[in-house]
Amino acid sequence: MIKESEYKKRREVLAKKLPDSSIGIIFSAEPATRSNDTHHPYRQDSNFYYLTGFKEDNAVLVFLKTKHELQTVMFVQKKDKTLELWSGERLGTKEAKSRFLVNEVYLRDDFKNKFKEFIKDKKNIYCELASKKSALKKVLKLTKDFKTKHDIVPLIQKMRLIKSASEIELIKESIAITAKAHHRAMSINKKGKFEYHLQAEIEHEFKMNAAYSDAYTSIVACGNSANTLHYIKNDKPLESGELILIDAGCEHNYYASDITRTIPVNGKFTEPQKELYNLVLETQLKIISMIKPFVKRTHLQERAEILLTKGMIELGILRGSYKKIIKLQKHKKYYPHGIGHWMGIDVHDPAPYKDDKHQEIPLQKGMVLTIEPGIYIDKDDRSVPEIYRGIGIRIEDDILITKDGCENLSSDIAKTVEEIEALAEL
Ligand code: GLY
Ligand code: MN
Ligand code: MN
């Protein structure tokens, strides 16, 4: 769990970045309609959560900064017995004041009047300029004469790049649940089942372990389905002799995990499947072994492309010199995506990849990124030996950068051919 003092520290770090005579405002997420009058389960805005740990709707965090002092203020919705009967308990101002280490807590209903007061003597407004939140639009209307509006979001995103010890613990907890889910998928009998059955088994494990949700819609893709990178239909039968690509991770206490394993329906890899699988696996292991502070992600990307391309030439999937193939980008047909991304409160954590001078940010202790090479060969690709057609393989782990190397946070999840085959119930 993250202590209130840590949230306070984060707010102080953010406030330090605001110039004197500034007001900073961040709104909670707005509820998302699913259809007609039903809603998706409410999920707090990631930046708002990062700064407050507060899960309620209709809240505002405000920074008031002058040359001499910083005031942090929250607005929360009022307690209302009738509404709470329908949608659950609200913290209310009194409880919020004793929980959050902020200077003042007001009612959300008073926001507009207070805000007008706050901006009177301020020169700069920092808000989520690019957001579509309707509350923000109202604020922008109230401040249309203000010349100096700035985006507060990049300042927060930059902070989210380096994970604290307590964040790393939460990511580990999220991964531990996801590990159980992948092992469940590997070990159940798959005969006669559909992709959605495996999805249900995985998500059963998430829910049984108190994970709020999946961090993204689970991909359970059998055979050629795996060649659709964002396949989420999950509605096909599991065919004997095919591989299943499972990209699934839970969100637990607002922290994501993002793991992919590719397993055989029958429990046993065929020889061609093994050849392709081991190429992806060896590439992934090699890339992980290169990870340490000061290494650049683009360097990992380049190495992965070289290793996969060389391997595909050996298997007769690509022809020619690897340098020429890469120069002409021909390998992208089979490995079209990136080597990985930041992960944290969001599965694709929106922390920056480049600094203010547009230079790539090298890896540093405390960053968490995924490493996920893959090879995807369409069933109708006649330029490839038939034995490899209709196979899509990705292997994805979540990696923490440490002082002088890295730690694979998901290394407990079966990954070698032998480990996966040993878990299968035939
Ligand atoms: N699950 C989404 C991704 O791997 O990036
Ligand atoms: Mn990923
Ligand atoms: Mn993934």
Domain boundaries defined on the chain? 4-159, 165-424
Look at residue 141 in the predicted model and tell me its pLDDT. 87
d(CA 79, ligand 2 centre) in Å: 40
What span, in angstroms and rounded, lies between the C-alpha atoms of 401 and 163? Answer: 10
- For ligand 1, atom 2, the nearest C-alpha belongs to 258
Q: Of all residues in the chain, what percent carry a pLDDT higher than 90?
A: 95
Q: Residues near ligand 1 with C-beta < 6 Å?
A: 216, 247, 258, 341, 347, 372, 396
Residue 426 has pLDDT above 70, yes or no: no
| Catalytic residue numbers, as ranges | 37, 230, 247, 258, 337, 341, 348, 372, 376, 394, 396
Provide φ and ψ at 241, rounded to 5°: 90, -5
Summarize pLDDT for 221-244 with one digit per residue, the tens. 999 999 999 999 999 999 999 999
Residue 98 has pLDDT above 90, yes or no: yes
Residue 381 has pLDDT above 80, yes or no: yes
Indicate the pTM of the whole model.
0.97
Look at residue 148 in the predicted model and tell me its pLDDT. 85
Assign a CATH topology to domain 165-424.
Answer: Creatine Amidinohydrolase (3.90.230)
| For residues 397-414, average pLDDT | 98
For ligand 1, what atom is nearest to the CA of residue 248?
A: 1
For ligand 1, what atom is nearest to the CA of residue 372?
A: 4
What span, in angstroms and rounded, lies between the C-alpha atoms of 372 and 341? Answer: 9
Assign a CATH topology to domain 4-159.
Answer: Creatine Amidinohydrolase; Chain A, domain 1 (3.40.350)
Judged on CB neighbours under 10 Å (0-12, 13-18, 19+), 41 is exposed
Choose which residue among 178, 216, 257, 297 to substitute to test ligand 1 binding: the one with the highest number of ligand atoms within 8 A of its C-beta. 216
What span, in angstroms and rounded, lies between the C-alpha atoms of 231 and 220? Answer: 8
Q: Tell me the pLDDT of the chain averaged across its residues.
A: 96
d(CA 258, ligand 1 centre) in Å: 6
Look at residue 143 in the predicted model and tell me its pLDDT. 84
d(CA 338, ligand 1 centre) in Å: 10
- For ligand 1, atom 3, the nearest C-alpha belongs to 258
Helices 195-208 and 165-187, packing angle to 10 deg: 140
d(CA 383, ligand 2 centre) in Å: 29
Strands (E), 235-324: 243-248, 250-252, 255-256, 259-264
Cβ proximity of 266 and 423 under 8 Å: no
What span, in angstroms and rounded, lies between the C-alpha atoms of 404 and 402? Answer: 6
Report the alpha-carbon angle 233-236-242, nearest 5: 120
Please compute Rg for the chain using Cα positions.
24
What span, in angstroms and rounded, lies between the C-alpha atoms of 21 and 333? Answer: 53
Summarize pLDDT for 128-157 with one digit per residue, the tens. 999 999 999 998 888 877 778 999 999 999
d(CA 187, ligand 2 centre) in Å: 23
Summarize pLDDT for 243-272 with one digit per residue, the tens. 999 999 999 999 999 999 999 999 999 999
Instruction: Average the pLDDT over each of 138-152, 394-408, 409-423 and give the range with the smallest value.
Output: 138-152
Choose which residue among 229, 247, 250, 393 to substitute to test ligand 1 binding: the one with the highest number of ligand atoms within 8 A of its C-beta. 247
Identity of the residue numbered 96: A
Choose which residue among 229, 342, 348 to substitute to test ligand 1 binding: the one with the highest number of ligand atoms within 8 A of its C-beta. 348
